[in-house]
Amino acid sequence: MSNYNLLLKNLEKLELNKIRNLLPNYLDEVAKKPPHLIESLLYLTQEEIKDLNIRASEGIIKAAGFPFRKTIEEFDFEFQESINREEIKDLTTLRFLENKENILFVGSPGVGKTHLAVGLGIKSSLSRNSVYFISCHKLIMKLNKAHKENRLEKQLQHLAGYKLLIIDEIGYLPIDKEGTNLLFQLISRRYMNKSTIVTTNIHFSKWGEVFNDEMLANAILDRLIHCSHIITITGKSYRLKNASIKLLDQKNNTKLKTN
């Protein structure tokens, strides 16, 4: 077996697959003017590290539980004029993670709150930060189940450990006092330690009605709002926009067929 084939096998055993795939073309490119050995090794190892980061990020994205994969770049800022594009752009630097700040997206259903939350979650994942996305209803169910099975402490520690926790749809369904208490425990653990993104269609003044406990609702809100970015979206629904476009297309298609 030639030294070249031995090298390929060694790279495979070491799981340096990116270098292994690059090597044939790279050797052809440098055959005429071989670079310094250090330059070659630096280039190949940097490409391997890039590939490692991509694979690790993809694993984080897969484990995060996003309902869909949409980036901030795909968001239609022209349609939602109430959003400050520069403010969102600043959030994509992920300084809010380092500062342990929260983000609260407030607005009616369909205005893009979840899209923005997912987009920031994906951006965080690509920088290899641990991220978890969950609806408020499912989160309460998860905490209740852990409480009944005497493993609440372990569950709270697990959820409190994510660099970024995204809680979607607070306010869509009412929460009983037990669920409110469990959520308060989680938010308290993350307070000033990790960042949390929340989306809600309910004004803060009505959170007491959602949580069925004015005092705990205020306590939760107080911890979320402190050191936070509050982004209120007052635009129209994307769903209605898309529905209108589909309806228009259907009408146009009908006219074409008729003609």
Q: What is the dihedral of CA 52, 68, 112, 199, to 10 degrees?
A: -80
The token pair at 126 is 């690509």
* CA–CA dist 183, 181 (Å, integer): 5
Closest by Cα among 96, 100, 84, 98 to 120: 96
Phi, psi torsion values for 26, nearest 5 degrees: -65, -40
pLDDT band with cut points at 50, 70 and 90 for residue 26: confident
**43-86 confidence digits (pLDDT tens):** 888 888 888 888 999 999 999 999 999 999 999 999 898 999 99
Asked whether the predicted pLDDT for residue 259 surpasses 80, the reply is no
pLDDT at 16: 87
**pLDDT top residue among 187 and 41:** 187
The token pair at 73 is 């770049």
The answer to whether 94 touches 129, Cβ cutoff 8 Å, is: yes
Chain centre to alpha carbon of residue 99: 17
Q: Which of 27-31, 58-62, 101-105, 222-226 has the lowest mean pLDDT?
A: 27-31
Whether pTM > 0.75 for this model: the answer is yes
* CA–CA dist 57, 132 (Å, integer): 13
pLDDT at 10: 82
The answer to whether 77 touches 86, Cβ cutoff 8 Å, is: no
**109-153 confidence digits (pLDDT tens):** 999 999 999 999 999 999 999 999 999 999 999 999 999 999 999
The token pair at 121 is 């979650």
Mean pLDDT estimate for the chain = 89
CATH code at 65-241: 3.40.50.300
Asked whether the predicted pLDDT for residue 245 surpasses 50, the reply is no
**Residue ranges of the chain assigned to CATH 3.40.50.300:** 65-241
